[in-house]
Amino acid sequence: RDTPLVLGIETSCDETAASVVGRDADGRPLILSNVILSQIEEHAAFGGVVPEIAARAHAEAIGGIVRAALHEAGVDLSGISAVAATVGPGLVGGLIVGAMTSKAIAAARGLPFVGVNHLEGHALTPRLTDALAYPYLLLLVSGGHTQILLVSGLGRYERWGTTIDDALGEAFDKTAKLLELPHPGGPAVERMAARGDPRRFALPRPLRGEKRLDFSFSGLKTAVRQAAQANAPLREADVADLCAGFQAAAAEAVRDRVDLALSRFRRELPDLADPVLAVAGGVAANGAIRAALAELAARHGVRLVSPPTALCTDNAAMIAYAGLERLEAGLVDPLTVPVRPRWPL
Ligand code: KG4
Ligand code: ZN
């Protein structure tokens, strides 16, 4: 095999994941394995991710997950060209587990090490799944991040907008928690919303009409809490209506900001042969938000690229792929590179 194979490790939040990614004979990305162990069960009773529990669970699982990823790919470490790991941003305990494991493998085998920014992994996912060319506009909506990025090259990310408080997935999760729905909240809220009336509760539309491309979701969450308190005890129909109202307001916020971003994208880069809006992050699984994005893309004359959900949510294939692009560009890191719990793109 003459194309490089990268082993990638992801441990920044509540999934322990490892993957082997390379390229096929035509140079297109190839996922040879993508193994993921979710800790959802461990954290369910707490209604959110508990950092100490997460770090211990990563430490227990990582060896087996790496072995499984190699086994599934049909290679052993002698077939691997480089090791990549998420070194930030994220929960420090988990980051240390992933970084130490991958550095140890790299040191023992004399392999190059690549420290990857988790957000870069999300940002490059449309190149992994759809072999997309630079540049493209990216909406990243996950439990930890809400950003609109212009991705113009490896390591060249222009942040056009971000959240000034909660991330969108976080707002879904907190709304679910206060309505006593199971964690993670996004899918639970979406299921309830399908049975509710989005017009019953008049919820705010944060930052609507503002010219900046930023998001804000904490006021919306507070409004849901107040409406819930005013209508206590909540019956199932009330919960459904609150979920529907929340989801409609969230989708409208996304529609409003992405509409502005697409106008700017088309104005600043008018000559692209294939203008693309790509999405990444767990919230991209939401049907109402997908529908809003599809409508916007059609109206602005851009192609909507939405990778399969399993690659939109946290995974190690995106980290291995970012590592592969970095390796090919000669951007490898010394084993002394630290983990960075806070690390904007
Ligand atoms: O990308 P991801 O797996 O992890 C982070 O990097 O944060 O995203 C997880 C987030 C959670 O907040 C979850 O509630 C949300 O994505 N999510 C959804 C849906 N599925 C997952 N939010 C809304 N609707 C969904 N269907
Ligand atoms: Zn993520």
**C-alpha–C-alpha distance, residues 301 and 309, integer Å:** 24
Please tell me the total count of domains within the chain.
Answer: 2
In a shared domain, residues 109 and 158: no
Please report the atom of ligand 1 found closest to the CA of residue 314: 3
- For residue 118, which ligand has an atom nearest its CA? 2
Domain assignment present for residue 117? The answer is yes
Only one residue has tokens 């004359």, namely 301
Domain assignment present for residue 62? The answer is yes
In a shared domain, residues 305 and 316: no
Q: Following DSSP, what letter does each residue of 33-71 receive, concatenated?
A: EEEEEE-HHHHHTTTS--HHHHHHHHHHHHHHHHHHHHH
Would the pLDDT of 309 be above 70?
yes
User: Is position 132 annotated in a ligand binding site?
Assistant: no
Tell me the whole-structure pTM to 2 decimals: 0.94
In a shared domain, residues 150 and 251: yes
Average pLDDT value for residue range 276-280: 97
pLDDT confidence of residue 210: 86
Q: For residue 134, give the nearest of 26, 274, 323 by alpha carbon.
A: 274
Average pLDDT value for residue range 202-215: 90
Domain assignment present for residue 53? The answer is yes
Residue ranges with CB less than 5 Å from ion ligand 2: 142, 314
Average pLDDT, the chain: 95
In a shared domain, residues 304 and 316: no
Would the pLDDT of 184 be above 90?
no
**C-alpha–C-alpha distance, residues 137 and 239, integer Å:** 35
The end-to-end CA distance of the chain, in Å, is 33
User: Is position 274 annotated in a ligand binding site?
Assistant: no
In a shared domain, residues 103 and 139: no
Q: Return the higher-pLDDT residue of 334 and 3.
A: 334
What CATH number does residue 197 fall under?
A: 3.30.420.40
Q: Looking at the predicted complex, does its ipTM rise above 0.95?
A: yes
Let me know if 56 is exposed, middle or buried by CB neighbors in 10 A (0-12, 13-18, 19+). Answer: middle
In a shared domain, residues 315 and 174: no
Give the tokens for residue 253: 């916020």
Domain assignment present for residue 333? The answer is no
Which tens digits make up the pLDDT trace of 15-31? 999 999 999 999 999 99
Cα 311 from chain centre: 9
pLDDT confidence of residue 209: 84
How big is the CA angle at 277 (ends 7 and 340), to the nearest 5 degrees? 40
In a shared domain, residues 270 and 324: no
User: Is position 63 annotated in a ligand binding site?
Assistant: no
Ligand 1 pocket mutation, candidates 146, 309, 313, 314, criterion most atoms within 8 A of CB: 313
Contacts for 160 with CB less than 8 Å, ≥ 6 apart: 148, 149, 150, 213, 261, 264
* Long-range contacts of 224-228, Cβ-Cβ distance < 8 Å, separation of 24 or more: 224/175, 224/178, 224/179, 225/178, 227/201, 227/203, 228/178, 228/179
User: Is position 286 annotated in a ligand binding site?
Assistant: yes
Q: Return the higher-pLDDT residue of 1 and 312.
A: 312
Taking the centre of ligand 2 as the mean of its atom positions, its distance from the CA of residue 8, in whole angstroms, is 15
Q: For residue 189, give the nearest of 244, 238, 226 by alpha carbon.
A: 244
Average pLDDT value for residue range 269-274: 97
Tell me the one-letter amino acid at 214: D
Domain assignment present for residue 91? The answer is yes
- For residue 43, which ligand has an atom nearest its CA? 1
- For ligand 1, which residues put their CB under 6 angstroms from it? 13, 142-144, 169, 172-173, 184-187, 190, 281-283, 285-286, 313-314
Domain assignment present for residue 339? The answer is no
Which tens digits make up the pLDDT trace of 87-102? 999 999 999 999 999 9
pLDDT confidence of residue 1: 55
In a shared domain, residues 71 and 29: yes
Cis amide bond preceding 135, omega within 30: yes
User: Is position 144 annotated in a ligand binding site?
Assistant: yes
Q: What range does the domain containing 101 cover?
A: 6-127+311-328
Domain assignment present for residue 344? The answer is no
In a shared domain, residues 55 and 179: no
Taken in order 107, 112, 113, 118, the sign of the CA dihedral is negative
In a shared domain, residues 113 and 220: no
Domain assignment present for residue 284? The answer is yes
Would the pLDDT of 310 be above 80?
yes
Which tens digits make up the pLDDT trace of 32-87? 999 999 888 888 777 778 888 889 999 999 999 999 999 999 999 999 999 999 99
Would the pLDDT of 170 be above 80?
yes
Taken in order 179, 181, 182, 187, the sign of the CA dihedral is negative
In a shared domain, residues 153 and 296: yes
- At 297, which helix (H) or strand (E)? helix 287-300
Taking the centre of ligand 2 as the mean of its atom positions, its distance from the CA of residue 88, in whole angstroms, is 11
pLDDT confidence of residue 157: 97
In a shared domain, residues 246 and 318: no
- Check if the beta carbon of residue 277 is closer than 8 Å to that of residue 251: no
Only one residue has tokens 């919303």, namely 193
Tell me the one-letter amino acid at 267: R
